[in-house]
Amino acid sequence: MNRQIEEIQKNILFYETAKKQLETYINTINNEFEVLEDYNPINHIKTRIKTAESIIDKLKRKKLPISKDSVEKLNDIVGARIIVDFIENIYELREKIKQNKNIIVINEKDYIKNPKESGYRGYHIIVSIPISIGGIIKNINCEIQIRTTAMDFWATNEHKLNYKSRNHIKKYESKWKEAAVKVWNLDTAMNELYLEEKKNNKKKDNLELSVLKLQSLDKLGKLKKLGENYG
Ligand code: 0O2
């Protein structure tokens, strides 16, 4: 086991650097929302590098041999989780990520429209980040998970008690699914309110814009009159 862990740790510098890059890109997007938009949907951001034990667990679950090659096939050694307020924000954020020229999107999985059998919901984006160390360039795939606070509430609890638990008990699976449906109902109700607010704000913005336009036209008219008087 120790030798396998050593092997994995040789690559750690690449993963550490990719994690820093990913953090920079995500923070830029966060600042973009903060400065350029009226509303920042990002609640919080977490980044992590998968532990060697968790990597080995995953390889076993996927029935892959425990080797450097298999590890390099995993897309989520470096991961970021972004928690947003409402379902709609997930898709707004996805657009921002795709617009960012530094981020190369490899794959997307919409577990919101197609939830997992367990009831899990979230939006996963696999991105590739080229990292150059000691003359070697490696494209490191990283996983960005986007969830609402409600989805994260369910997933975090389920992860602790069920998903990773050695005492995983089948009879509780339906209870977790039921809880996931309840969380989803709450999430969609909140999302409807968000969409309503967004619509109202747009109307208000349009109205304010029209008033501003009228004011400018009025000023122009007055200026024109002044010009005529001097002409
Ligand atoms: P951890 O401990 O969270 O890191 P792939 O071969 O790439 O298609 P993979 O890598 O299993 O398959 O990707 P998938 O299924 O798209 O996403 C896996 C990650 O999503 C998990 O990572 C979890 O973080 C999360 N996830 C998926 N299903 C569930 C679920 O039923 N419950 C919870 N709580 N989380 C889930 P890891 O590495 O399995 O675990």
pLDDT band at 52; cut points 50, 70, 90: confident
Does 192 fall in a domain?
no
The pLDDT of residue 145 is 98
Residue 85, domain CATH: 3.30.460.10
> Can you give the pLDDT at residue 206?
72
Q: Does residue 134 belong to any structural domain of this protein?
A: yes
Residue nearest to atom 22 of ligand 1 (CA): 76
Please say whether the beta carbons of 117 and 174 come within 8 A. Answer: no
In a domain, 215, yes or no: no
- Specify the ligand 1 atom closest to the Cα of 124: 16
Domain span including residue 18: 2-155
For residue 118, is it within any domain?
yes
pLDDT computed for residue 50 by the predictor: 94
Q: How far is the CA of 32 from the centre of ligand 1 (A)?
A: 29
C-alpha to C-alpha distance for 130 and 215, rounded to whole angstroms? 51
Q: Residues with Cβ within 6 A of ligand 1?
A: 50, 54, 58, 75-76, 109, 116, 118, 120, 124, 155, 158-159, 163
Q: How confident is the model over 101-160, as pLDDT tens digits? A: 888 999 999 999 999 999 999 999 999 999 998 888 999 999 999 999 999 999 999 999
Q: What amino acid is encoded at 201 in this protein?
A: N
Domain count along the chain: 1
Report yes or no on 210 lying in a domain: no
Report yes or no on 61 lying in a domain.
Answer: yes
For 171-210, the pLDDT digits (tens) are 789 999 999 999 999 999 999 999 999 988 877 777 776 7
Beta strand pairing call for 104-110 and 42-49: unpaired
Q: What is the pTM of this model?
A: 0.86
H or E element in which residue 40 lies: none
Residue 136 belongs to some domain of the structure: yes
Output the 3-class SS for 56-123: HHHHHHCCCCCCHHHHHHCCCCEEEEEEECCHHHHHHHHHHHHHCCCCEEEEEEECCCCCCCCCCCCE
Can you list the positions of beta strands (E) in the chain?
42-49, 78-84, 104-110, 123-133, 136-148
The span from the CA of 212 to the CA of 219, in Å, is: 10
Q: Is residue 227 part of a domain?
A: no
